[in-house]
Structure 1
Amino acid sequence: MFEGGVSNAEIARAVGVCAESVRRWRRVREQGGASALRRRAATGRPPKLDDTQVELVRAAWEQGAQAHGFEADLWTLERVGAVVTRATEVVSSGASVWRLLTGRLGWSLQRPERRAVERDEPEVARWIAHEGPRTKKGP
């Protein structure tokens, strides 16, 4: 469109952006050519853990929390951070651990059900069907 002599306003309408963006793109293209308009990789601080370290940590987590000396087989951010430090000698904040879990590994928050391990489901179903109605007030 730039080479065809199309105006900034027409390009903006066609692409769905404001005319100022098109003016900026035109200026960048004139100074650096079409390659200057290409998307660049995101800048910022590189991650503390490389891919090999992330795989070491993933393997450690898959062993379970109890395998790492915790009482219950339940992961918290603090526990995950401790395992990251043990496996890689890299200290991470809670926010960094959260980004590692949700971003790089694609995991999500899971909360355990609040039910007793000893719960007898068939007995609960029987009570609801037979005993429960008898305890309700009648007409």
Structure 2
Amino acid sequence: MRYAQGGGLASGRRQDRERIRSRAAERFARDEKTSVIAADLRVSERPVQRRRRTWREDGPQGLASKGSAGRPRLTGAQFAVLEEEPAKGSAAHGRPDQRWTLERIRTAIGRRFHLTCSVPGVWRLLHRHGRSWQAPARHALERDQAAVELGKKDVWPHAEAPRRRSGPGWSSRTRPGSR
């Protein structure tokens, strides 16, 4: 089972897969047919063929799990170093303002650790470490909160498009001759 927060298989499920691979290795050693192994293990033949080739090239240890494919690329120590980067100031990073966008964090990771990652990968990394986007603590000095509330209450409802009514007899099209 995959998880939306960037995880892979749960540890119990990963162990089940490991047992299946070890059983397949035993059957490879007995030179059983691929189709028989696939049917017994309830998998398709193609993965069995790939595992058999890996078993021939690397032996049984080649079938061992390599870990989660989506494991974090930054270690905990590296993430701690990354957290110190904004404190150095924007001038140290060649930026005119104090904003730290996902793209800027991605660039900092690349420069500091010589790693490439995607913008969604940066978001997942920050999310795993309990970080989230931050709204500014203060609004612009020119902001008139009373006018904003008035606009939400009185002006915005009139600016919205009217909703289509549903049900019998409420059609946006009329048939010729129906009037």
Band the TM-score falls in, shorter-chain normalisation: 0.3 to 0.5
Give the alignment's TM-score, normalised by structure 1: 0.48
Give the alignment's TM-score, normalised by structure 2: 0.38
